Amino acid sequence: MSNSGSDDVRCGTYEKPYLTLNYALSRVKDGGTIHIQDELVYAANYTWEAHGKDVIITGDDRDATVETLDFSAMSDLSINDGVTFRNIKLIYPTNEHKRIFAEGHKLVIESTVDVVNKGQLLGGSRTSDVQSTHLEVYSGNYSSIYGGTTNNHNVTGDTHIIVGGNVNAAADVTSHSYSYCLYGAGYNGTVSGNTYITVQKGAKFNYVYGGGESSTAIVKGSTNIEFAGQAMSIYGGSKEGTNADTHVVMTGGQVEQIFGGCEKTSMTGNTDVRVQGGTVLRRIYGGCYNDYSTSGWADTANVVTGYTSVTFGPEIDGKYATLNTDYKDDSTASDWLGMDDATYYAVSRWQTNYSSESGSEIGVFIVNDCDVESNGNKGLAGFTDFMDKTIPFLGNVSDTKPYHYLVNATLGGEVTSMGASLYIKPDSGYVATIKRIYADKSENVLATDVQTGEYQLPALESEQVELKVEFSKQ
């Protein structure tokens, strides 16, 4: 394609390029490649017509020309075909609040794309419902990326987002501003399936949400986040919307805080936060966030109706997660709080955490034999000392329970949790023995020779129950 080209069936070569993108899309085969030879500028009223194809759009690289697609004059851009952008300059609409819709097609922006202007990217459609969405983004800066969409349109299946490369290189991940956000769902509308987010090394965000943004954003399935980038905050749930079960797995990177639940609302479902690698600078809560201001706690709490779970370990490739107990932000007004607010709770962030306070919210802490080290102690001993060093956040500290179930797993396997069940996964050649540990350190064997599978948590007979899963060779 070139400004000197012609939309003629006899064209379509380097010597005789096409003139317009829509004509080139109509002529290229499904799965084919369109080569850009020029700087192509599109007017505000340009419409990308639908051709039902998946194509690659790339620069030509045969001369010094900077091959460009310039959409800066447009308000909203709907990309009505599946596209992989490669080796090209891509200029987004000038106003960062103008939107780019993938219209339910697979959209890939490779790391070789020079993205100009901060964008807002949506996997769904501007005008209708779509079956599913798939975004892969490795370049550019984005005020928001949504797996879903806006205008109350829906996704009837799943959403998929993969971000990596140098996405949001300009982001300040120490900032609490909503300047760089990632949502598995939409601003509003319903995702009837699940949301899947993968944040790879190099990508940066202020906030990552498994669900949607506004109170009318709904996820009927589960939310799933796999994280190895950098962020201020990760929420397995929504900002203000509705979602069911949540899953967050941190395998690397750095984050200040992780919440398994929602930021500004309650949720019904179970949460699952797993920290297997990377660095958590400040705090982890299995449940929802609740703000504390100079006037104290709010009258009602955002909580999870269900089980909330936080799991540490096991190691990944010989490396363990790093948990910081020395966090203190001296640059903000948080100093008036009088404490560091570096805490690790299986439940929601609230004044007290008895199960009677938040209905059916039950917190489960699992410590696989990971390198949670304190004063030379590792594993459960290190974790216990570690918890003693962290500072419960305000409220009545004597009433604050970081968990209801504490599960210690030895070397030889892995234990995770979802809902009222533990999931036991012995290494090859190993089996598990499950024990109840009492306050006086006496033990009661609950199950032996446990193979891979599900194990129901025992009844919560007291405020806290401690279990031990011992893996041994068969």
For 444-458, write each residue's pLDDT tens digit. Answer: 999 999 999 999 999
Residue type for 445, please?
A: V
Give residue 107's pLDDT.
98
CA distances from 286 to 221, 339, 456 (A): 19, 21, 19
pLDDT at 340 over 70: no
Give residue 384's pLDDT.
53
Are 295 and 352 within 8 A, CB to CB?
Answer: no
User: What confidence category does residue 410 fall into, taking pLDDT thresholds of 50, 70 and 90?
Assistant: confident
What is d(CA 76, CA 100) in angstroms, rounded to the nearest whole number?
A: 6
pLDDT at 352 over 90: no
DSSP 64: S
Give residue 448's pLDDT.
94
296, with CB counted inside 10 A (0-12, 13-18, 19+), is exposed
Are 100 and 135 within 8 A, CB to CB?
Answer: no
3-state secondary structure of 468: strand
Beta strand 217-219 with 195-199 is unpaired
Which residue's structure tokens are 């899953």? 247
Q: Token digits for 418?
A: 């979802």
For 153-185, write each residue's pLDDT tens digit. Answer: 999 999 999 999 999 999 999 999 999 999 999
User: What confidence category does residue 335 fall into, taking pLDDT thresholds of 50, 70 and 90?
Assistant: very low
What is d(CA 319, CA 442) in angstroms, rounded to the nearest whole number?
A: 33
Are 4 and 38 within 8 A, CB to CB?
Answer: yes
Are 372 and 382 within 8 A, CB to CB?
Answer: yes
Please state, as a whole number, how many other Cβ atoms lie within 10 Å of the Cβ of residue 98.
17
Please state, as a whole number, how many other Cβ atoms lie within 10 Å of the Cβ of residue 166.
15
Give residue 142's pLDDT.
97
Q: What are phi and psi of 386, to 5 degrees?
A: -60, -45
Q: What are phi and psi of 197, to 5 degrees?
A: -125, 130
Residue type for 281, please?
A: L
What is d(CA 202, CA 396) in angstroms, rounded to the nearest whole number?
A: 40
Give residue 232's pLDDT.
96
What is d(CA 98, CA 73) in angstroms, rounded to the nearest whole number?
A: 10
**Taking residues 398-410, what's their average pLDDT?**
77
Please state, as a whole number, how many other Cβ atoms lie within 10 Å of the Cβ of residue 4.
9
Please state, as a whole number, how many other Cβ atoms lie within 10 Å of the Cβ of residue 290.
20
Got the DSSP string for 169-213? TT--TT--SSSSEEESS-SBEEE-S-EEEEE-TT-EEEEEESS-S
pLDDT higher at 342 or 13: 13
Helices (H) and strands (E) in the chain, counts: 2, 38
3-state secondary structure of 312: strand
Nearest alpha carbon to residue 286 among 390, 219, 383, 365: 365
Beta strand 362-367 with 307-312 is parallel
pLDDT at 67 over 50: yes
Are 23 and 7 within 8 A, CB to CB?
Answer: yes
What is d(CA 248, CA 284) in angstroms, rounded to the nearest whole number?
A: 11
pLDDT at 115 over 50: yes
